[in-house]
Amino acid sequence: MEYGFILTIFAIGFVGSYISGMLGIGGAIINYPMLLYIPAFIGVGSFTAYEVSGISAIQVFFATIGGVWAYRKGGHLNKPLILYMGGSVLIGSFIGGYGSQFMPENGINIVYGIIALIATIMMFIPKKRTDETPVNLVTFHKPAASLLAFLVGIGAGIVGAGGAFLLVPIMLVVLKIPTRMTIASSLAITLISSIGATIGKVTTGQFDYLPAFILILASLIAAPLGAKSGQKMNTNVLQTILAVLILGTTIKIWFDIF
Protein backbone atom coordinates (compact mmCIF):
# COMPACT_ATOMS: atom_id res chain seq x y z
CA MET A 1 0.00 0.00 0.00
CA GLU A 2 1.43 3.42 -0.97
CA TYR A 3 2.55 5.93 1.64
CA GLY A 4 0.37 8.61 0.03
CA PHE A 5 -2.70 6.47 0.67
CA ILE A 6 -1.70 5.81 4.29
CA LEU A 7 -1.03 9.49 4.99
CA THR A 8 -4.30 10.50 3.35
CA ILE A 9 -6.35 8.06 5.45
CA PHE A 10 -4.52 9.11 8.62
CA ALA A 11 -5.14 12.80 7.90
CA ILE A 12 -8.84 12.15 7.25
CA GLY A 13 -9.11 10.20 10.49
CA PHE A 14 -7.25 12.82 12.50
CA VAL A 15 -9.34 15.75 11.25
CA GLY A 16 -12.62 13.86 11.59
CA SER A 17 -11.81 12.57 15.08
CA TYR A 18 -10.60 15.93 16.38
CA ILE A 19 -13.84 17.55 15.25
CA SER A 20 -15.87 14.62 16.62
CA GLY A 21 -14.32 14.98 20.06
CA MET A 22 -14.84 18.74 20.02
CA LEU A 23 -18.50 18.61 18.94
CA GLY A 24 -19.65 15.42 20.63
CA ILE A 25 -20.22 13.40 17.44
CA GLY A 26 -18.69 10.14 16.25
CA GLY A 27 -17.18 11.70 13.14
CA ALA A 28 -18.97 9.66 10.47
CA ILE A 29 -20.83 12.71 9.14
CA ILE A 30 -17.39 14.14 8.36
CA ASN A 31 -15.39 11.01 7.55
CA TYR A 32 -18.01 9.41 5.27
CA PRO A 33 -17.79 12.04 2.49
CA MET A 34 -14.03 12.54 3.00
CA LEU A 35 -13.31 8.80 2.61
CA LEU A 36 -15.69 8.56 -0.33
CA TYR A 37 -14.27 11.51 -2.27
CA ILE A 38 -10.78 12.60 -1.18
CA PRO A 39 -8.68 9.44 -1.89
CA ALA A 40 -10.24 9.11 -5.34
CA PHE A 41 -9.92 12.84 -6.06
CA ILE A 42 -6.17 12.96 -5.33
CA GLY A 43 -5.57 9.62 -7.02
CA VAL A 44 -4.31 7.48 -4.11
CA GLY A 45 -7.17 4.98 -4.03
CA SER A 46 -10.93 4.65 -3.80
CA PHE A 47 -13.63 3.03 -1.66
CA THR A 48 -17.15 1.83 -2.34
CA ALA A 49 -20.03 3.08 -0.18
CA TYR A 50 -20.08 -0.36 1.49
CA GLU A 51 -16.38 -0.10 2.42
CA VAL A 52 -16.71 3.50 3.62
CA SER A 53 -19.66 2.65 5.86
CA GLY A 54 -17.78 -0.31 7.35
CA ILE A 55 -14.58 1.67 7.97
CA SER A 56 -16.58 4.55 9.43
CA ALA A 57 -18.33 2.25 11.89
CA ILE A 58 -15.12 1.04 13.54
CA GLN A 59 -13.60 4.54 13.48
CA VAL A 60 -16.62 5.97 15.29
CA PHE A 61 -16.25 3.34 18.02
CA PHE A 62 -12.67 4.31 18.83
CA ALA A 63 -13.19 8.06 18.35
CA THR A 64 -16.02 8.09 20.88
CA ILE A 65 -13.98 6.09 23.41
CA GLY A 66 -11.40 8.88 23.38
CA GLY A 67 -14.06 11.56 23.64
CA VAL A 68 -15.95 9.93 26.52
CA TRP A 69 -12.68 9.42 28.40
CA ALA A 70 -11.90 13.13 28.12
CA TYR A 71 -15.38 14.09 29.40
CA ARG A 72 -15.59 11.47 32.17
CA LYS A 73 -14.79 13.91 35.02
CA GLY A 74 -16.56 16.99 33.70
CA GLY A 75 -19.90 16.29 35.34
CA HIS A 76 -21.78 16.54 32.03
CA LEU A 77 -22.55 12.84 31.42
CA ASN A 78 -26.29 12.26 32.00
CA LYS A 79 -26.49 8.57 32.95
CA PRO A 80 -30.30 8.11 32.61
CA LEU A 81 -30.20 9.76 29.18
CA ILE A 82 -27.30 7.52 28.12
CA LEU A 83 -29.14 4.43 29.39
CA TYR A 84 -32.46 5.10 27.62
CA MET A 85 -31.07 6.39 24.33
CA GLY A 86 -28.02 4.12 24.30
CA GLY A 87 -30.00 0.90 24.65
CA SER A 88 -32.45 1.88 21.91
CA VAL A 89 -29.83 3.13 19.49
CA LEU A 90 -27.78 -0.06 19.97
CA ILE A 91 -30.69 -2.24 18.81
CA GLY A 92 -31.48 0.06 15.90
CA SER A 93 -27.85 0.34 14.74
CA PHE A 94 -27.41 -3.43 14.65
CA ILE A 95 -30.56 -3.80 12.55
CA GLY A 96 -29.36 -1.07 10.17
CA GLY A 97 -25.78 -2.32 9.99
CA TYR A 98 -26.80 -5.90 9.26
CA GLY A 99 -29.61 -4.98 6.90
CA SER A 100 -27.45 -2.64 4.80
CA GLN A 101 -25.97 -5.62 2.94
CA PHE A 102 -29.29 -5.99 1.13
CA MET A 103 -29.31 -2.38 -0.11
CA PRO A 104 -27.83 -1.07 -3.40
CA GLU A 105 -24.68 1.01 -2.98
CA ASN A 106 -26.40 4.24 -3.99
CA GLY A 107 -29.11 3.45 -1.47
CA ILE A 108 -26.59 3.87 1.36
CA ASN A 109 -25.67 7.31 0.03
CA ILE A 110 -29.35 8.26 -0.16
CA VAL A 111 -29.90 7.22 3.47
CA TYR A 112 -26.89 9.31 4.46
CA GLY A 113 -28.28 12.26 2.52
CA ILE A 114 -31.72 11.99 4.15
CA ILE A 115 -30.27 11.80 7.67
CA ALA A 116 -27.90 14.69 7.02
CA LEU A 117 -30.74 16.80 5.57
CA ILE A 118 -32.91 16.20 8.64
CA ALA A 119 -29.97 17.03 10.91
CA THR A 120 -29.30 20.24 8.97
CA ILE A 121 -32.89 21.44 9.36
CA MET A 122 -32.92 20.64 13.07
CA MET A 123 -29.62 22.42 13.73
CA PHE A 124 -31.06 25.69 12.36
CA ILE A 125 -34.28 25.53 14.41
CA PRO A 126 -34.17 28.18 17.20
CA LYS A 127 -33.41 26.54 20.54
CA LYS A 128 -34.66 27.37 24.00
CA ARG A 129 -31.79 28.48 26.19
CA THR A 130 -31.09 25.61 28.63
CA ASP A 131 -27.34 25.85 29.16
CA GLU A 132 -27.75 27.42 32.61
CA THR A 133 -29.96 24.60 33.92
CA PRO A 134 -28.28 22.75 36.83
CA VAL A 135 -27.32 19.17 36.00
CA ASN A 136 -29.53 17.68 38.72
CA LEU A 137 -32.59 19.55 37.39
CA VAL A 138 -32.35 18.36 33.78
CA THR A 139 -35.29 16.11 32.78
CA PHE A 140 -36.40 14.58 29.47
CA HIS A 141 -39.29 12.57 27.98
CA LYS A 142 -38.06 8.97 28.26
CA PRO A 143 -40.36 7.26 25.71
CA ALA A 144 -39.62 9.94 23.09
CA ALA A 145 -35.88 9.66 23.74
CA SER A 146 -35.97 5.88 23.34
CA LEU A 147 -38.09 5.88 20.16
CA LEU A 148 -36.09 8.61 18.42
CA ALA A 149 -32.80 6.92 19.34
CA PHE A 150 -34.04 3.61 17.88
CA LEU A 151 -35.01 5.24 14.58
CA VAL A 152 -31.74 7.14 14.39
CA GLY A 153 -29.88 3.90 15.12
CA ILE A 154 -31.39 2.15 12.09
CA GLY A 155 -30.35 4.91 9.70
CA ALA A 156 -26.96 5.38 11.33
CA GLY A 157 -26.25 1.66 11.23
CA ILE A 158 -26.83 1.62 7.48
CA VAL A 159 -24.18 4.28 6.82
CA GLY A 160 -21.77 3.03 9.51
CA ALA A 161 -22.30 6.00 11.80
CA GLY A 162 -22.99 6.32 15.48
CA GLY A 163 -25.82 8.73 14.74
CA ALA A 164 -24.59 11.60 16.92
CA PHE A 165 -24.93 14.11 14.07
CA LEU A 166 -28.69 13.53 14.36
CA LEU A 167 -28.85 12.68 18.06
CA VAL A 168 -27.20 16.00 18.95
CA PRO A 169 -29.90 18.21 17.35
CA ILE A 170 -32.62 15.89 18.72
CA MET A 171 -31.23 16.26 22.23
CA LEU A 172 -30.90 20.03 21.85
CA VAL A 173 -34.20 20.79 20.08
CA VAL A 174 -36.63 18.04 21.10
CA LEU A 175 -35.41 16.89 24.52
CA LYS A 176 -34.10 20.35 25.57
CA ILE A 177 -30.81 19.03 26.97
CA PRO A 178 -28.11 21.65 27.77
CA THR A 179 -25.40 21.94 25.13
CA ARG A 180 -22.39 20.68 27.09
CA MET A 181 -24.40 17.79 28.53
CA THR A 182 -25.59 16.99 25.01
CA ILE A 183 -22.04 16.93 23.67
CA ALA A 184 -20.71 14.72 26.49
CA SER A 185 -23.70 12.35 26.66
CA SER A 186 -24.00 12.01 22.87
CA LEU A 187 -20.43 10.68 22.75
CA ALA A 188 -21.36 7.94 25.21
CA ILE A 189 -24.59 7.13 23.34
CA THR A 190 -22.71 7.07 20.04
CA LEU A 191 -20.12 4.72 21.53
CA ILE A 192 -22.93 2.28 22.36
CA SER A 193 -24.51 2.75 18.93
CA SER A 194 -21.24 2.08 17.11
CA ILE A 195 -21.03 -1.36 18.73
CA GLY A 196 -24.18 -2.49 16.93
CA ALA A 197 -23.17 -0.88 13.63
CA THR A 198 -19.67 -2.39 13.78
CA ILE A 199 -20.95 -5.90 14.50
CA GLY A 200 -23.44 -5.60 11.64
CA LYS A 201 -20.79 -4.41 9.18
CA VAL A 202 -18.08 -6.92 10.19
CA THR A 203 -20.39 -9.95 10.14
CA THR A 204 -21.56 -9.08 6.63
CA GLY A 205 -18.08 -8.44 5.21
CA GLN A 206 -18.48 -4.68 4.68
CA PHE A 207 -15.04 -3.97 6.11
CA ASP A 208 -11.47 -3.13 5.06
CA TYR A 209 -9.08 -3.81 7.94
CA LEU A 210 -5.96 -1.80 7.08
CA PRO A 211 -7.65 1.58 6.43
CA ALA A 212 -9.77 0.94 9.53
CA PHE A 213 -6.61 0.39 11.62
CA ILE A 214 -5.12 3.65 10.32
CA LEU A 215 -8.32 5.54 11.23
CA ILE A 216 -8.36 3.92 14.69
CA LEU A 217 -4.82 5.12 15.36
CA ALA A 218 -5.70 8.65 14.27
CA SER A 219 -8.89 8.56 16.37
CA LEU A 220 -7.15 7.58 19.59
CA ILE A 221 -4.76 10.52 19.18
CA ALA A 222 -7.12 13.21 17.91
CA ALA A 223 -10.47 12.60 19.69
CA PRO A 224 -9.23 13.40 23.25
CA LEU A 225 -7.49 16.54 21.94
CA GLY A 226 -10.72 17.67 20.29
CA ALA A 227 -12.75 16.96 23.44
CA LYS A 228 -10.42 19.10 25.54
CA SER A 229 -10.74 21.94 23.04
CA GLY A 230 -14.53 21.63 23.03
CA GLN A 231 -14.73 22.00 26.81
CA LYS A 232 -13.10 25.43 26.53
CA MET A 233 -15.17 26.79 23.62
CA ASN A 234 -18.37 28.83 23.72
CA THR A 235 -21.42 26.59 23.26
CA ASN A 236 -22.89 28.84 20.54
CA VAL A 237 -19.65 28.52 18.57
CA LEU A 238 -19.79 24.72 18.90
CA GLN A 239 -23.39 24.60 17.61
CA THR A 240 -22.55 26.89 14.68
CA ILE A 241 -19.54 24.78 13.65
CA LEU A 242 -21.62 21.61 13.76
CA ALA A 243 -24.48 23.19 11.78
CA VAL A 244 -22.11 24.43 9.04
CA LEU A 245 -20.39 21.06 8.75
CA ILE A 246 -23.67 19.18 8.46
CA LEU A 247 -25.01 21.67 5.91
CA GLY A 248 -21.89 21.38 3.74
CA THR A 249 -21.90 17.58 3.67
CA THR A 250 -25.64 17.50 2.99
CA ILE A 251 -25.29 19.73 -0.07
CA LYS A 252 -22.36 17.65 -1.39
CA ILE A 253 -24.01 14.25 -1.01
CA TRP A 254 -27.32 15.33 -2.62
CA PHE A 255 -25.45 17.03 -5.46
CA ASP A 256 -23.71 13.73 -6.22
CA ILE A 257 -26.87 11.66 -5.88
CA PHE A 258 -28.62 13.74 -8.55
pLDDT digits (tens, 9 = 90+) for 194-232: 787 778 777 777 667 788 888 888 888 887 888 778 777
More confident residue, 254 or 146: 146
Query: From the CA atom positions of the chain, what is the Rg in Å?
Result: 17
The DSSP-derived string for 53-99 is HHHHHHHHHHHHHHHHHHHTTTT---HHHHHHHHHHHHHHHHHHHHH
The three-state (H, E, C) secondary structure of 194-253, written as one string: HHHHHHHHHHCCCCCHHHHHHHHHHHHHHHHHHHHHHHHCCHHHHHHHHHHHHHHHHHHH
| Residue 70 amino acid letter | A
Rounded to two decimals, what is the model's pTM? 0.70
For residue 46, how many other CB atoms are within 10 A of its CB? 14
Is the per-residue pLDDT at 29 higher than 80?
no
pLDDT value of residue 85: 92
Average pLDDT rounded to a whole number, residues 238-247:
73
Question: What was the pLDDT predicted at 145?
Answer: 92
pLDDT digits 0-9 by tens, 145-170? 999 999 988 988 887 766 777 788 88
Please state, in angstroms and rounded to a whole number, the distance separating the CA atoms of residues 19 and 225.
9
Spans of all domains in the chain:
3-257
| Residues 42/178, Cβ–Cβ less than 8 Å | no
Backbone dihedral region for residue 43 (phi beyond 0: left; psi -120 to 50: alpha; all else: beta): left
For the chain, give the percent of residues with pLDDT over 90: 7
pLDDT of residue 136: 65
Taking the C-alpha atoms of residue 191 and residue 55, their distance in angstroms, rounded to an integer, is 15
* Confidence band for 129, pLDDT divided at 50, 70 and 90: low
Average pLDDT over residues 221-246: 75
What pLDDT was estimated at residue 213? 86
Q: Residues for the chain: how many in total?
A: 258
